[in-house]
Amino acid sequence: MSETILQTEQLSKRFSRRILAVDDMNLLIPRGQVFGLLGPNGSGKTTTLGMILGVVSKTKGSYSWFEKGEDYTLRKKIGAILEQPNFYPFLSAKQNLMVHSRIKDIRKPDTDGLLKMVGLYERADDPFKTYSLGMKQRLAIASAMLADPEVLIFDEPTNGLDPQGIAEIRQLILHIRDMDKTIIMASHLLDEVQKVCSHFAVLRKGKKIYSGSVKEALQSTNTIAVSADDNTLLRQVLASCPGVLSTELESEVTRVHIADDWTSATLNKYLMDRNVPVNYIQLRKSSLEEKFLEILKESERTSSPSPSQPAS
Amino acid sequence: MMNVRKIIELEYFKFRHYRPFLVILGLYVFCFVLAGFSIKSLLDWFLEQQKDDDVLKHFISTGLPIFDFVDIWQNLAWLATIFKWIPAFVIIISVTLEYSQKTIKQNIIDGLSKKEFLASKVALVGVISIGSALLLLFLGLFLGLLYSPVKGLSYILQNIEFVAAYGLEVFVFLCMALFAAFAIQRSGVTIILFLLYTACIEPITTAILHFHYKWEVWYFPVEAINLIIRVPFQKYALSFVHDQIILRDVLVAFGWAGIFIGLSYWILKRRDL
């Protein structure tokens, strides 16, 4: 089994002389990652996915699935939904899945099992056109799972859904993630990427401006919140701790900025050793939103002021 | 190597439950059979009205021998060509629906090649054409055995190639509809433009070019399609008529089928979905 699921090199799409929708996109997605493509609307997420799925012709560059290239038969091992769920409106869920399995050369698809998984079993024989958007999206996920694919691609999977629908779809994606599938997900919702993804790349005007793991992006703050029964003693001990750069008082807890080689665990041990039992200690994560804005600000500073580029 | 069974099954899975398709195809069969059964009485009535005509009055006692073996195949095939627009609508809807519902995009994402997608539509065209030819064969056998004074096997088999010619005519015509659908992509516009072109624009243009400017017009697509089976009925009034299929017509028709399929592929390949 190949360890690299997807690699793109200098993948570019120019729609017209003025519109460069995707610009030299280099992505490397190893097996097992839940990879988020993050960016505002029109940043090139869907165009990038369209190219690697063979529905948008590329202007330049290359991509490779499973280290085997661009052949269309490789797509049978990919479960993907681009933008909206697209099905034959007059066919039922089951009949639609039959069409998909015929394309993917699956002789005996487990349609019942999949429809149970996404909670559509009771409506399996009703025509697709009678479904709500949430049900359509869930059917799309079921069809993406048909071939027991190695990688799944979701494009704004919760777009347009009500809060309950969003929660259901996220639950499903997390469920699929736990089945050890690689997932590529495009989203403009930071909070969604933060909750679901292990790694992410940030796209802006067709360019990749950042990529890395979600965990690292969130841990770079080095802020720990601590609290003890005796907070005065705690502050005294912290003041003499070599790993503590500064402290800050909040109502109940003390915010501690620690040195790079310190973690919440080492701090806890240090306090324990000095007989200060801690009743609360937690690494303060910054939200991905703060990080995202930081990245955007950074990229705006480094990139020379470009002429206004219309979105794709 | 393309999996022929797969692409036929795929089209079958997609449309076997689509009621408009079944209704239109049912209508096609109904018109076909109804025309076959009513044309005889219609012609008899027509002869009755023309009893003063010098040529036609000879047929009044016997009726026009349109269902006599040997003649029946060309007569029936030519009559049936009027109905070829009905399956053309089926083809146009089947392609434009895939665009409007974006299922063509999902098909490609799921791992179908554009070539396979086109092949599945050509397969639908092929199946409808073969079905049409079979329908003609059964109707011809039935009516011939009912009305023809001669019923020998050698008479039945003579000129039976008009059945295949009818299949070819439907095939090329549906290929043209296929191309129109891929080029225009929206069902309403496609149907209107296809009707306009095949029933008005080209027939009028070729008529003007041919009769006014003395052009040869056999290479125009609709003209080429119509020429495969030539009008048989003058034979009852005039001495000369084409009662054979001409090789050139068949080759030109095949050429157009190739061009329409090729252009459809070119469009499909070139456009983003």
Helices and strands: H and E segment counts in chain B: 12, 0
Contacts (Cβ under 8 Å, ≥6 apart) of A65: A5, A6, A52, A74, A75, A77, A78
Residue A39 and residue A119 in one domain: yes
Query: Residue A290: inside a domain, yes or no?
Result: no
- Among the candidates A217, A242, A263, a domain finishes at A217
Contacts (Cβ under 8 Å, ≥6 apart) of A59: A12, A13, A14
Query: Residue A297: inside a domain, yes or no?
Result: no
Residue A78 and residue A209 in one domain: yes
CATH number at residue A36: 3.40.50.300
What whole-number distance in Å separates Cα of residue B42 and Cα of residue B37?
10
pLDDT-derived band at B244, boundaries 50, 70, 90:
confident
Residue A115 and residue A264 in one domain: no
Residue A236 and residue A113 in one domain: no
Residue A79 and residue A127 in one domain: yes
Residue A155 and residue A226 in one domain: no
- Judged on CB neighbours under 10 Å (0-12, 13-18, 19+), A102 is buried
Query: Residue A165: inside a domain, yes or no?
Result: yes
Tokens of A184: 């590529």
Residue A134 and residue A238 in one domain: no
Running along chain A, 312 residues long, what does each successive block of 10 average in pLDDT?
89 92 94 92 92 94 95 94 92 95 92 93 95 93 92 92 90 90 91 89 90 79 80 84 80 79 84 86 74 77 54 42
Q: What is the pLDDT of residue B134?
A: 96
Q: How many distinct structural domains can be found in chain B?
A: 1
| Closest by CA position to A22, among listed A63, A55, A51, A53 | A51
The answer to whether the Cβ–Cβ distance between B102 and A91 falls below 8 Å is no
Residue A143 and residue A170 in one domain: yes
CATH number at residue A226: 3.30.70.980
Q: What is the pLDDT of residue B171?
A: 97
The answer to whether the Cβ–Cβ distance between B19 and A90 falls below 8 Å is yes
Residue A139 and residue A208 in one domain: yes
Query: Residue A312: inside a domain, yes or no?
Result: no
Residue A124 and residue A154 in one domain: yes
B19 membership: H or E segment, kind and range: helix B19-49
Domain coverage including residue A277: 222-284
| Residue B123 pLDDT exceeds 90 | yes
Hey, is the C-beta of B41 within 8 angstroms of any chain A C-beta? no
Hey, is the C-beta of A200 within 8 angstroms of any chain B C-beta? no
Residue A188 vs residue B1, higher pLDDT: A188
For helices B114-147 and B85-100, what crossing angle results, to 10°? 160
| Closest by CA position to B169, among listed B89, B267, B245, B240 | B245
pLDDT tens readout for residues B213-223: 888 888 999 99
Q: In what order do the strands lie in the sheet with A78-81?
A: A78-81, A151-155, A182-187, A34-38, A199-204, A207-213
What whole-number distance in Å separates Cα of residue A65 and Cα of residue A39?
23
What whole-number distance in Å separates Cα of residue A164 and Cα of residue B257?
53
Complex ipTM: 0.87
Q: What is the pLDDT of residue A311?
A: 43
Q: What is the pLDDT of residue B235?
A: 64
Residue A239 and residue A177 in one domain: no
Backbone phi, psi, residue B149, to 5°: -70, -30
Which residues on adjacent β-strands are paired with residue A280?
A: A227
Considering only alpha carbons, which residue of chain A is nearest residue B113?
Answer: A72
Domain coverage including residue B215: 4-270
Residues B260, B117, B12, A137: is their CA dihedral positive or negative? Answer: negative
Q: How many distinct structural domains can be found in chain A?
A: 2
Q: What is the pLDDT of residue A307?
A: 45
The alpha-carbon radius of gyration of chain B (Å, integer) is 21
Residues of A in contact with B272 (CB under 8 A): 50, 55-57
CA B129 to chain centre: 7
Hey, is the C-beta of A161 within 8 angstroms of any chain B C-beta? no
Residue A127 and residue A232 in one domain: no
Query: Residue A47: inside a domain, yes or no?
Result: yes
Hey, is the C-beta of B111 within 8 angstroms of any chain A C-beta? yes
pLDDT tens readout for residues B128-152: 999 999 999 999 999 888 888 888 8
Tokens of A37: 């493509």
Q: What is the pLDDT of residue B242?
A: 65
| Residue B121 pLDDT exceeds 70 | yes
Residue B99 vs residue A306, higher pLDDT: B99
Hey, is the C-beta of A82 within 8 angstroms of any chain B C-beta? yes
